Amino acid sequence: MAPNNTNPLDYTLLIKFIDGQASPAETAEVAAWLDAAPANRERYFQVKDILDQQRVSAVTREETDERWQQIAGQLQAAAEPVPLRRLSWLKYAAAVLVLVIGGGIAAYVLQPSPREEPLLTLVSQKATVQHMVLPDSTRVWIKPGGQLRYRNVKDGLRELWLEGSGYFEVVKNTATPFRIHTPGISVVVLGTSFTVNDDQHNTNVIVNTGMVKASAHEQEMLVRPGQRATVVSNTLRIDSVNAQLFAAWKDGDYKFENTSVAELKELLEANYGYEVTILQPQKFRTTSISGRMLITDAQSLCQSLSGMLEADVRKDGHRIIIQPK
């Protein structure tokens, strides 16, 4: 069982962190608090969801203040399983609709759902990497065979539906979170860069910069730079990866850092869908590669890997074969 966090955290600091206004020292404090206990991460999502809803809703200040007064007594009397100091909370009453600490439940006013608009195609399935810039200056790369769609709403393209894989450099906008939906995983961010994969090989999100909230099968997870959240047997799992490598399919620019042959196999299968076979794998047990490689096609891939691995690397149909010389 994860230990409880004994260090209280000011809610105002958490709000600064969510809004991207925290200093490096404050960011480190919040990061340590998030790592201290699972309940802290749940509380983070509760506060963030409330703020996100308030930003995009039409709730008035008067309505918010009235609801705040209704629960203020509960907040003062409730015991907190994970201690956080309630400093200057009234300053943020306009941002917080309802927060019930005792039961660990965040609730807020939901606006009536508008009539659902049909999905429109933004990027269609093609055999090449497609790059585009959205109206908010967010940059998007879609892997060959992928498709990106959106709803024609006045708030702009900050909610997208992805089939396949894409890399996103999202421009920060604290008023409107950026949302990506796939059949297997969903992502919510304010401003960051990351890869989303949902194809026959992978269902995951890999973060390059910033942080994202990944959700799948009624689970939520905070994913940080250099981490990968993967759906495995209907469960979200996190591991550490070289995020740059898993995004390099967009331009073919690879920067290896002590990358093992086993990691290289996983990378080629994830980025290009190749089936990779390693013959006599025991001879590559201590082999790793470092350096920069530009991959423009299958031939350049095999030539570069042959030189870096000092091995025989060849392509046979949709399979890459690596074996000692």
| Tens-digit pLDDT profile for residues 60-81 | 555 545 544 543 444 344 334 4
pLDDT at 313: 93
Contact 37, 5 (CB under 8 A): yes
Contact 183, 217 (CB under 8 A): no
The number of beta carbons lying within 10 Å of the beta carbon of residue 216 is 23
Q: What is the mean pLDDT of each run of 10 residues along the chain (325 residues)?
A: 51 72 77 76 68 52 51 41 42 40 36 65 89 91 93 75 95 88 92 89 92 92 94 92 94 92 91 91 92 84 89 92 93
Please indicate, yes or no, whether residues 24 and 102 belong to a single structural domain of this protein. yes
pLDDT at 39: 73
Of 130, 128, 149, 152, the residue nearest 139 (C-alpha)? 130
What range does the domain containing 143 cover?
119-245
Q: Which structure tokens are listed for 265?
A: 């196999």
Instruction: Name the domain boundary from 212, 245, 278.
Output: 245
* Residue 82 domain flag: yes
Please indicate, yes or no, whether residues 317 and 211 belong to a single structural domain of this protein. no
- The whole-model pTM stands at 0.67
* Residue 3 domain flag: no
Please indicate, yes or no, whether residues 142 and 208 belong to a single structural domain of this protein. yes
Amino acid symbol at 102? G
pLDDT at 92: 45
* Residue 113 domain flag: no
The number of beta carbons lying within 10 Å of the beta carbon of residue 265 is 19
pLDDT at 141: 96
E runs forming strands in 130-192: 130-133, 139-142, 147-151, 159-169, 178-181, 186-189
Please indicate, yes or no, whether residues 164 and 214 belong to a single structural domain of this protein. yes
pLDDT at 114: 53
* Residue 69 domain flag: yes
CA trace torsion 50, 53, 54, 58 (10° rounding): -150
Instruction: Name the domain boundary from 75, 107, 139.
Output: 107
* Residue 112 domain flag: no
pLDDT at 283: 92
Please indicate, yes or no, whether residues 159 and 226 belong to a single structural domain of this protein. yes
Total number of domains in the chain: 3
Q: Which structure tokens are listed for 241?
A: 């990866």
